[in-house]
Amino acid sequence: MIIKEFLYILKVAECGTISKAAEELYISQPALTRYIHNLESSLNMKLFEKMGRNVKLTPFGQVYVDAGRKILKICDELEQEANASDDMIRGTLRIGCGRRGSYILPEIIPEYSKRFPSVSLKMSESSYAEVESMLIQGKVDIGILKEPTDFALNYLTCIPLFKEELVLVTPVNHPLNRFAEERPGCSHKWIDLSLFRENNFICYKTGHRNRVLIDKLMLENGLAPNYYFETNNVDGMIHLVRGGYGVCFSPEIYAKNRLIIDEDHPSIEIFSIGDPVNRYQYCAAYRTNSHVTRYMQVFLEMLEKHYQGK
């Protein structure tokens, strides 16, 4: 209560009248008058003396106000110091992500945890549709999303992180690979998807967000594909391609990781596809009407900075 006492007395001293001080403090004049009288009684000293309708500090009142200003300044500095120290911030940051999050977050978390050692990170891995739903329902604070839906954009604020290609993965010795060509703006050699009309496709299951993109690609290229095998396990798809069971589509990073593993004896090739090249947007998102804590804001900033220009 001592902070409140100082604030009230300082306001009366500043305004010069109890009525104006009460107005600025949003309390009634009788309540403020009683408060001052009770405080003076407990101190056994007068803080103010009346000068007509105004009030003036007594010598003891001046000492009290001077001490109050010093104490309030110390309290303010202490609060600023506490807020400025990341070590003092405690809380839980709930992050929702698709499987892609296992590639994104490890690049951010070590640095973040050093800065906010008392903030606990809770990660929920699910489909992008489920992450969108969890964000909207307030079950997670930040979501790593791919191509947010128009519905979700009504409720979420999205920060673009990076774009990634959906590439075609073929066996290294596939006869159509020789038709690939260099094209400006492509991360890999570009190949005409329509050449693969007679091939088996290993693909995502119906309803998966990548399947929606793939079906659109097929339609644009006049293909009625033979979906030889359907699975949402990207590594499984690439493994089947390596075995010669067909071709598949994959987010670029998964296919590139396979190439790194097979560096000495590559078993697959990857190609840019589409005209224009098929890329989708990854973003970090949070509920538009939610309270953004400092440690949440810093996490978003670190994500954005990490992927800037990538």
Return the CATH number at 12.
Answer: 1.10.10.10
The residue from 47, 63, 84 where one domain ends is 84
- DSSP summary character for residue 113: H
Whether 112 and 200 share a structural domain: no
Mean pLDDT by 10 residues, the chain (310 residues): 78 89 86 87 89 89 88 75 58 86 80 90 88 92 87 89 90 95 90 93 88 87 87 91 93 86 87 86 90 90 81
Q: What is the pLDDT of residue 238?
A: 93
Whether 105 and 68 share a structural domain: no
CB atoms near residue 56 (< 10 Å)? 13
Whether 136 and 215 share a structural domain: no
Q: What share of the chain is helix, strand, coil (3-state, %, to 5)?
A: 45, 25, 30
The residue from 33, 61, 84 where one domain ends is 84
Whether 144 and 167 share a structural domain: no
Return the CATH number at 97.
Answer: 3.40.190.10
Whether 157 and 178 share a structural domain: no
Q: What is the pLDDT of residue 208?
A: 83
Q: What is the pLDDT of residue 88?
A: 54
Q: Using the CB atoms, write b or e for 169-191: b if 16+ within 10 Å.
A: bbbeebebeeebeeeeebebebb
Whether 10 and 78 share a structural domain: yes
pTM reported for the whole predicted model: 0.61
Nearest to 145 by CA among 269, 65, 156: 156
Total number of residues shown for the chain: 310
The residue from 63, 84, 105 where one domain ends is 84
Q: What is the pLDDT of residue 80?
A: 61
Return the CATH number at 192.
Answer: 3.40.190.290
Whether 30 and 105 share a structural domain: no
- Report the alpha-carbon distance of residue 228 to residue 39 in Å, rounded: 85
Q: Per the structure, how many domains does the chain have?
A: 3
Whether 186 and 252 share a structural domain: yes
Whether 120 and 263 share a structural domain: no
Match 């107005």 to its residue by tokens: 23
Nearest to 14 by CA among 24, 5, 4: 24
Whether 103 and 53 share a structural domain: no
What are the beta bridge partners of residue 167?
A: 250
Q: Which domain holds residue 243?
A: 163-280
Q: Are strands 200-203 and 142-146 parallel, antiparallel or unpaired?
A: unpaired
- Report the alpha-carbon distance of residue 253 to residue 258 in Å, rounded: 9
Whether 114 and 143 share a structural domain: yes
Biggest CA–CA distance in the chain, Å, is 102
Whether 268 and 175 share a structural domain: yes
